Structure 1
Amino acid sequence: MTPTDNNTQENRQNALELVIVTGISGGGRSTVARALENVGYYVIDNLPEALVGQAAALAAEGGPEVQRSAMVLDVRSLAFMTDLVGVIDELRSNGFRPTLVFVDADDDVIIRRYEKVRRAHPLQGDGALLDGITAERRLLEPAKESADMLFDTSLLNENQLRSRVEEAFLAPSTPGLQFTVMSFGFKYGIPRDADYLADVRFLPNPYWVPELREFTGQNPEVSKYVLSRPGAEDFVDSYSNLLLKTVPGFEREGKRYITVAIGCTGGKHRSVAITEELASRLNESGYPTTVQNRDAGRE
């Protein structure tokens, strides 16, 4: 192979937007796959782990319709019981830039989902449903620890998960780090898929201002109220600077997606206003940032 051929192959591999999806059975992998299809990915479901490298090579040589490819791996294939992290590392050593997505949920949520559809877990065997879930968690723990993006679906319905995935992958990815800034309400649970978590309940709550109560933090008057409280601007300045200072290190480690969660009591006013402002600062600094207001519509 000539140097020119090598360069051409490398360019094709770099151009390929490759997503590997795995996670706990019942966590929502199928929904993630459909969402990726909705934003233009060619999705291969239930792919044996041993064929990932070959499929990636074929996609790199293919036409525009497969330049955004996603592969869904799960325990239905016995070939999965090896070393997914090793497969990802091999892809990277061969010039590919895969994004590993892991889908998870609490055990009790997984159990309810299985009971609803009346199916056995693929690793359950003659044991209980929880035995299968526990065995799968043990197998997938290295992949979870190495994931670029983690979607915890414990508190998400199918439409919410689909929206989050579509927002994350709607536009072709850029080489640098990308942020997702998410507002949430502590009373609805902490988002466990966040890389950073901040509490803005130190700010006065617009809920107690009658003319602001019904609106969210996206409303200009609510935003103005929140950001004008003592400590609000200092917090946004300091937190955005902290995040930006971590970017070079994360990029050196190969991390491409960072999720920042901002919480208040109900996830409607303070956290939304701070989330919108923080995302604006990150975008202005040159880092593509999407906003997700998880709980803003619950009240």
Structure 2
Amino acid sequence: MTSDAPLNPPATPVVIVTGPSGAGRSTAVNALEDLGFEVIDNLPLSLLPRLLDGPQGGRPLALGVDVRNRDFAPNVLRDIIEDLHGRDDVNGQVLYLDASEDVLVRRYSETRRRHPLSPDGTPLTGIDHEIKMLSSIRALADILVDTTDLSPHDLKADIERHFAVDGGPFLGVTLHSFSYKRGLPRGLDIVMDCRFLRNPHWDPALRAKDGRDAQVYQYVAADDRFGEFFTKMQDLVMMLLPAYKDEGKSHLSIGFGCTGGQHRSVAVTEKLAAALEMAGWPVSIRHRELERREGTSVTLASRHTA
């Protein structure tokens, strides 16, 4: 007797939504619920593995997690995320919502709420503590959205761009720049080595700049091999994205590495992000070494499509 059930059922999308209090987590989980996700908010961390190991209901799942969760501990959440990324039966992603410290303080002042980590002190004390607690979780984010300059309406629209495309299969793209000295970022699907291109580090006038600077980009693009490399790489990515989307993959991470993660990899990441954006793909950018050097001052919000 034959069965009509697929031998390999599609992986269930599971999104962990987290970030510092006041960055917009509630708005994000509400937006995901509107998109058809089953939302479970503030479930004790000790119960999450049991939930994920149980039978999947077929609907995508969004899990709201922050420091208010009972028995919250960063190392426990890290283990859950790493297990999620390694599973075949679920398509796990971490959506991390961030905002600048002064904006988080202003939001608390406007609502007159007490910070969960500083109920008897100033919001700033709690915010500082929370940011430090979540720093290792932030580094594991698949999608990082900076809500500093976003209204709730803007954030909701951003979530829709990431997780719904006309009701059909969705594929979001994250582009990473990184330094080979510090190893590959976690969870990359495709890696491109940019170390063969001209290195602006050797030009004293460009050394302190990074790949977002027009002069640095022009220096890198002047390499005779750049044009052919970028065209072929872009064509490959453009060919693969629809194929991954049709296969049911909901997120693709592409990494570009160079020696210091400051010039060549950043320039290529920025150029490809602009090309994918023009083609209508939702794109997020992570410049790991710039983020490490400058902290939250690097704008890592998702790219907006026209």
CA shift for structure 1 position 48: 1.7
Q: Distance in 2 between matches of 1:10 and 1:136?
A: 44
* Residues 1:279 and 2:296 are matched in the alignment: no
Equivalent residue number for residue 24 of structure 2: 28
TM-score (norm 2): 0.58
Q: Distance in 1 between matches of 2:64 and 2:231?
A: 34
- Count of paired positions: 219
* Residues 1:42 and 2:38 are matched in the alignment: yes
Among residues 34, 41, 58, which one is paired with 2:54 in the alignment? 58
Q: Distance in 2 between matches of 1:105 and 1:236?
A: 36
Q: One-letter code of the match for 2:77?
A: L
Equivalent residue number for residue 133 of structure 2: 139
CA shift for structure 1 position 109: 0.2
Report if the CA contact (8 A) 1:179-1:259 is conserved: no
Q: Distance in 2 between matches of 1:25 and 1:293?
A: 23
SS of the aligned residue for 2:133 comes to: helix
Equivalent residue number for residue 159 of structure 2: 165
How do 1:1-299 residues align onto structure 2 when only pairs under 5 Å count? 11-12=8-9, 14-58=10-54, 60=56, 62=57, 64=58, 67-81=59-73, 82-95=75-88, 96-171=90-165, 178-179=172-173, 198=212, 256-257=252-253, 278-279=275-276, 289-290=281-282
Q: Distance in 2 between matches of 1:33 and 1:112?
A: 22
CA shift for structure 1 position 153: 0.3
Q: Which runs of 5+ in 1 are unaligned?
A: 1-7, 182-195, 203-230, 261-273
Q: Distance in 2 between matches of 1:71 and 1:277?
A: 31
Report if the CA contact (8 A) 1:148-1:256 is conserved: no
Q: Kindly tell me: are residues 108 and 237 of structure 1, through their superposed partners in 2, closer, same or farther at Cα, counting changes over 3 Å?
A: farther
Q: Distance in 2 between matches of 1:280 and 1:151?
A: 16
CA shift for structure 1 position 102: 0.5
Q: Distance in 1 between matches of 2:141 and 2:215?
A: 30
Report if the CA contact (8 A) 1:123-1:136 is conserved: yes
Q: One-letter code of the match for 2:84?
A: L
Q: Kindly tell me: are residues 80 and 244 of structure 1, through their superposed partners in 2, closer, same or farther at Cα, counting changes over 3 Å?
A: farther
CA shift for structure 1 position 78: 3.3
Q: Which runs of 5+ in 2 are unaligned?
A: 176-209, 217-221, 245-249, 257-270, 284-301
**Paired-residue identity, %:** 32
CA shift for structure 1 position 179: 2.9
- When the two chains are superposed, the root-mean-square deviation of aligned CA atoms in Å is 4.3
TM-score (norm 1): 0.59
Give per-residue Cα distances to partners, 1:149-188, cap 9 Å, x unaligned.
00100011111111011011004656xx74379xxxxxxx
